[in-house]
Amino acid sequence: MSPKQPWVHVETHPIPIEFQEAIGGHPLVAHTLYERGYRTVDEALAFLDPDLYHPSSAFDLPDMERGCDLLTRAISEQACILVWGDFDVDGQTATTLLVEGLRGLGANVRYHIPVRAKESHGIRKEVLKAQLVQGFDLLLTCDTGITEFESLQWVRNLDIPIIVTDHHLLAERMPPADAVINPQRLEEGHPLRTLPGVGVAYQLIEGLYASLGRELDLGRLQELVALGIVSDVAEQRGDTRYLLQRGLKSLRKTSRVGLIRLFENAELNPGLINEGHIGFQIAPRLNAVGRLGDANPMVEFLTTQDKSEARRLATLIEGMNIKRRSETRQVERGAEAQLQASSDDRHAPAIVLHHPGWPGGVVGIVASRLVERYHKPVILLTGEDPISGSARSVPGLHITEAIGAQSDLLNNFGGHPMAAGLSLPVAHYPAFKRRFLATVEAQLPSGAVGEPIEIAGSLRLDELDLALVREISRLGPFGQGNPALNFRVNDLRVVAESTVGIEREHRQVTVADKENNELRLIWWNGADERLPEAQFDLVCQLTESDYKGTPQLSAEWIDFQLSEAGKVEIASRQVELIDYRASLHSQDQLAQLVLESPRALIWGEGDLPNAIHFKGRHELEKNPHLVIWTAPPSQTVLQHVLELVQPKQVTVFAVEPGIGELHAFMSRLGSAAKYALNNLGGRASIERLGATCAADESAVRTGLLLWEARGMLSVNFKGEEVHIRADRPEADFDASALLETMLKELLEESRAYRRYFHQVELRSIINR
């Protein structure tokens, strides 16, 4: 079980009356600003309102003037500029911003974003050679380059000018470039110091246009900067916060058709886009492409004005995002299994795990989740030899320095205080793990727990309203350096809950107090977490959302702990299990069970015997006796069913549903889609389609996208529903091939889970 984070109520101090009067509104706003170090009225107002902030000059950055001169000469001579980016969202947006800005000046520009699976981060010499065959006259990096000594020296030896723009930590020496534009070269506390890679690229383009006396559409570029700031978790200080505020405002009325299409797919109202939407819905989609495929098309996606091209690329992004979710789930469960199997790993000061088959594109995501769950540094490694992976840290440990202390065992490494990447020979793994754990133990306090959850105040449910939320939102956007406010609500009970999301990975929970006031919350990635089984106290965050055009209060579940009354109330519960998985006469035994227990709820999906009344997952309701006829496609579906039915007795047969292969699955899904078109106005529940096909809902979504890519029908996902249209889009053979591969992997994952379900100890996966 993961350790609990301590709850700490923020101490407040008296603030000057003139400060409160100048800030106005709810006293909480002024108190929060004052406690976070904004002690003068001018500082506080500039924090709240970007119109009152005075942005820094781009030329505060070292080598900015030199970089602008080199680009000016290249543009005037029509020399070929090669922009070299990175595959995460910060790198994608930085590349796009430079390409768009330079083309606006008539520059001859080409770009390259490394393909993660082949190149990893950075500048590979063999790829540079291929680029030289095409020819380029100036190399311009973004979000990379600060430690690429060998590759850059090779370019320098060819007398090709180099401009490095990056934001990563400086090495002991500067790279061999004509200009190195990196905010880490500025003094601590400088307003430009916390810019991400796209922020540095923005400063270069802004400085270049200013030096040429040219007009620049700042808002259009600030949209890209906002995406990079949030996705790279840049600290919101000075110009970084200012650019995020400006960028969010521009994003809400963006003219980029790719982003407009992405917003539609994510079911986002563009006019209400905020930092949370970027962090949880937009950035993961864009990152999925870079993590699992080739991010170079993202520059076209972010710049195209062709709606059909935007639609095609958006469909690919959705497919990649489904694959990312699936692979993330696999790696997370694999990592948890390793942890539970090793007492040494569970009790170590950090988590360091390796599996040769983990997809490298998602280990960083899983590492972040494990940090949130266990509140200790995490390194997850994959591959056979060499092995490589990602690291995530906790406050108090500079993860890159801790890894660097073992540099004699590594091939390479790099990163930030809170995140890093590394590679090493597999033979060095045991020594690296031992020494890294010793380094962490020496630097972090013994018995350290998670960073405290700071609570801004305690509220009652009847005190929560939109007026309060709108006052809190004045402090936004929230993020690194400006955390969202946490509120405590005491003496609650759970009155309803359901799993939501494409993978059913989130929970929607309704809680009530003693006066029966209710609040509905979203618990991100909470589907596999245990709900409080008795009265409890809650920590939550409050935001405003939009439902069909109507503003409403939204709440996010952060943490809970049983109240004293809840601790007294809690009692253990056991489910009675009856195991018929090894039976050779399953249908006869099921028929006998129906006679003996006519009120039992029989859950079955796929190819089913005709004489028995089965119910799909979309038809289930509370019942003391659940019969599991077909083996479920995933633990997520099983858990969802158990939570719906809340049985006291479970009888398990676990027969095969009979439609696990691609052709059979697509045929069944196609028939269900045709039925929806002919009888339901084209509307169908994803859950019902999953029951019809005996499949996980991610497979259903991927299968529908595959039918669309084959040019057979059009689909539009709306929450837990899909709208199917008979109009046939043009077939996209590249997307079709990709989606078919992804679907085969998803179906194989379900087959693997069913094999596991046939042999696992039932008590370990079926409980209350």
pLDDT in tens, 584-601: 888 888 989 989 999 999
Residue 85, burial from CB neighbour count under 10 angstroms (0-12, 13-18, 19+)? buried
Q: Would you state the pLDDT for residue 81?
A: 97
Beta bridge partners of 500: 506
Whether the predicted pLDDT of 768 surpasses 60: no
Give the pLDDT score at 497: 86
Whether the predicted pLDDT of 525 surpasses 90: no
Q: Which amino acid is at 245?
A: Q
pLDDT reported for residue 351: 95
Q: What's at 88, amino acid-wise?
A: D
127-140 residue pLDDT tens: 998 898 899 999 99
CA distance 102 to 81: 9
Burial 688-725 (b: 16+ CB within 10 A, else e): bbbbbbbbbbbbbbbbbbbbbbbebbbbebeebebebe
Check residue 549 and give its pLDDT: 63
pTM here is 0.76
Phi-psi region of 255 (alpha: psi -120 to 50; beta: other; left: phi over 0): alpha
Nearest to 137 by CA among 68, 202, 70, 197: 70
The predicted model gives 741-757 an average pLDDT of 88
User: Does position 661 have pLDDT exceeding 90, yes or no?
Assistant: no
Q: What confidence score (pLDDT) does residue 184 get?
A: 95
Query: DSSP class of residue 615?
Result: B
Sheet holding 576-579, edge to edge: 576-579, 649-655, 625-630, 601-603
Residues 6+ apart with CB under 8 A from 76: none
Model confidence over 222-280: pLDDT tens digits?
Answer: 999 999 999 998 999 999 999 999 999 999 999 999 999 999 988 888 988 999 999 98
Q: Residue 763: its pLDDT value, please? A: 81
CA-to-CA dists, residue 289 to 295, 367, 393, angstroms: 6, 19, 25
Taking CA atoms, 2 is separated from 358, 363, 370, 433, 543, in Å, by 23, 19, 9, 21, 27
Residue 319 φ then ψ, to 5° = -65, -45
Average pLDDT, the chain: 90
Task: Determine contact, residues 739/709, Cβ cutoff 8 Å.
Answer: yes
Structural domains of the chain sorted by starting position, each given as residue range(s) with its CATH number in brackets: 7-24+453-569 (2.40.50.460), 58-319 (3.90.1640.30), 342-443 (3.10.310.30), 574-768 (no CATH)
pLDDT at position 378 is 96
Task: Name the pLDDT band for 550 (thresholds 50, 70, 90).
Answer: confident
- Looking at residue 134, its amino acid is Q
Q: Which of 706, 564, 703, 682 is nearest to 633 (CA)?
A: 703
- Cis status of the peptide bond prior to 729, with omega within 30 of 0: no
Residue 508 has pLDDT above 60, yes or no: yes
Percent of the chain with pLDDT over 90: 57
Position 504 pLDDT exceeds 80: no
Q: How many residues make up the chain in this entry?
A: 768
Question: What's the mean pLDDT in 466-482?
Answer: 93
Tell whether the model's pLDDT for residue 572 goes beyond 80: no
The span from the CA of 275 to the CA of 413, in Å, is 30
The pLDDT value given to residue 574 = 66
For 171-183, the pLDDT digits (tens) are 889 999 999 999 9
The pLDDT tens digits of the residues spanning 143-161 come to: 999 989 989 999 999 999 9
Confidence of residue 419 (pLDDT cuts 50, 70, 90): confident
678, burial (CB in 10 Å: exposed 0-12, middle 13-18, buried 19+): exposed
Confidence band for 548, pLDDT divided at 50, 70 and 90: low
The tokens describing 250, both together, are 């521009």
Note whether 380 and 390 are within 8 A (CB): yes
Residue 705: beta bridge partners? none
What confidence score (pLDDT) does residue 1 get? 41
741 bridge partner residues: none
Longest dimension (CA), the chain: 88
Rounded to whole angstroms, what are the CA distances from 145 to 165, 169, 228? 7, 11, 18
* Residue 368: pLDDT over 70: yes
Residue-wise pLDDT for 9-48, tens only, equals: 988 889 999 999 999 999 999 999 999 999 999 999 999 9
Strand 80-84 to strand 7-9: parallel, antiparallel, or no bridges (unpaired)?
unpaired
Residue 625 has pLDDT above 50, yes or no: yes
Q: Over pLDDT 70: what percentage of the chain?
A: 97
Confidence tier at 564 by pLDDT (50, 70, 90): confident
Residue 435 has pLDDT above 90, yes or no: yes
> In this structure, which amino acid lies at residue 655?
V
Alpha helices in 279-428 (DSSP H): 283-292, 297-303, 307-341, 343-347, 363-374, 399-404
